[in-house]
Homo-oligomer: A and B are copies of this chain.
Amino acid sequence: MSQTASIKDVATHAQVAVGTVSNVLNYPDRVSQRTKERVLKSIAELGFVRNDAARQLRAGQSRTIGLIVLDVGNPFFSSVARAAEDAATALGSVVLVGDSGQDASREAHYMDLFQEQRVQGLLISPVGNVAERIDTLRERGVPTVLVDELADTDRCSSVSVDDEEGGYLAAKHVLDLGRRRLAFVGTPSIRQVASRLKGAQRAVAEVSDASVEVLDSAGQTVLAGRQVGNSLVERAPELRPEAVFCSNDLLALGVMQSLTMLRTVRIPEDIALIGYDDIDFAISAVVPLSSIRQPTEALGRTAIELLAEEQESGGTKHRSVVFTPELVVRQSTAGAGS
């Protein structure tokens, strides 16, 4: 069983020094044509493959970037992750994805792991209180970029979306349709959700006779949305809200399923429905779902860019980029009623 050949084996086989083989791999211009060909031939014959561990050890740093997300199953995060991977690949780096599942201990586990791997930097959607941990990392030369969370700018960089503005846009839109009694569905204990609610309340406050009721859902899933939807259907028609704003699309789709299945409530005629995130599935729902689009692609790409800036500045300069969300109107909030 032939084990993997080392650079030394290649050197012997090609009758050159190890440094020369290394140069062929890293600085081809420094090596003469003839020698290069001979070395490359030996590499092919022996099936030599670089040992990345040795390279990292010498370099003192890996070509790896750690990314910790709240839930890879959530299309929002998988989309951000994909964009970050692409941007990193262009820079010759690799992204390792860790899923904290909103659990602080899992989050800590991945931070330990990434630190042992000597990652170039860390992208993280924090769940626990990671401020101290990030300070430590920065002192050790590992820059961090917060993702989907606004950072204290003298601590680290961040990319996020203006959640309050998003909430405002959604509520304003249904208010503009003439709806007055709104309901907000979500779990405000999550920071992003709380901000969206705050924005919605601001929009409501601008209209004299409008109101918004908060329906705390048990999670952020389709199933949780269905439960809320069922509770709405059970209400007397006059007690139902005229518009429902859900803190994410999964919830909204759940609500939609409850409402449409029972056929007693029409969307958007009786209840206008709007979600958040604009996941791929929103456009192809039974009643195409209006939503607030977040620029996931830009989030992932910018996160990598900010990380590169941090590296260049030696972790001294920090910058926070806040994107503006965008209203996407579809059938679930179509004209009727204005």
Contacts and interface: CB of A to CB of B under 8 A. Distances in A.
A230 to B, nearest CB: 12
A280 B223 CA distance: 10
Interface string A29-72: 00000000000000000010111111011000010000000001
A20 interface: no
Contact of A53 (B3, B57, B223, B254): B57
Nearest to A115: B49
Nearest to A1: B139
Interface string A1-29: 11110000000000000000000000000
Given A53-B57, A257-B286, A284-B223, A2 B139 contact: yes
For chain A, which range describes its interface: under 10, 10 to 19, 20 to 34, or 35 or more residues?
35 or more
Interface in A89-110: 94, 96-97, 99
A236 interface: no
A222 B284 contact: yes
Contacts of A140: 1-4, 47
Contacts of A324: none
A51 B57 contact: yes
A83 B140 CA distance: 34
Copies of this chain, tallied across the complex:
2
Given A117-B52, A118-B52, A3 B141 contact: yes
Interface string A269-309: 00000000000110011100000000000000000000000
Contacts of A49: 112, 115-116
A284 B53 contact: no
Contacts of A226: 284
Contacts of A211: none
Given A56-B53, A116-B50, A118-B53, A286 B286 contact: yes
A153 interface: no
B280 A260 contact: no
A207 interface: no
Contacts of A231: none
Contacts of A281: 222, 281
B280 A261 contact: no
Interface in A110-128: 112-113, 115-118
29 contacts: A1-B139, A1-B141, A1-B314, A3-B141, A47-B136, A47-B140, A49-B115, A50-B116, A52-B116, A52-B117, A53-B53, A53-B57, A53-B117, A72-B72, A72-B78, A72-B82, A73-B75, A73-B78, A78-B78, A82-B99, A222-B280, A222-B281, A222-B284, A226-B284, A254-B284, A257-B284, A257-B285, A281-B281, A286-B286
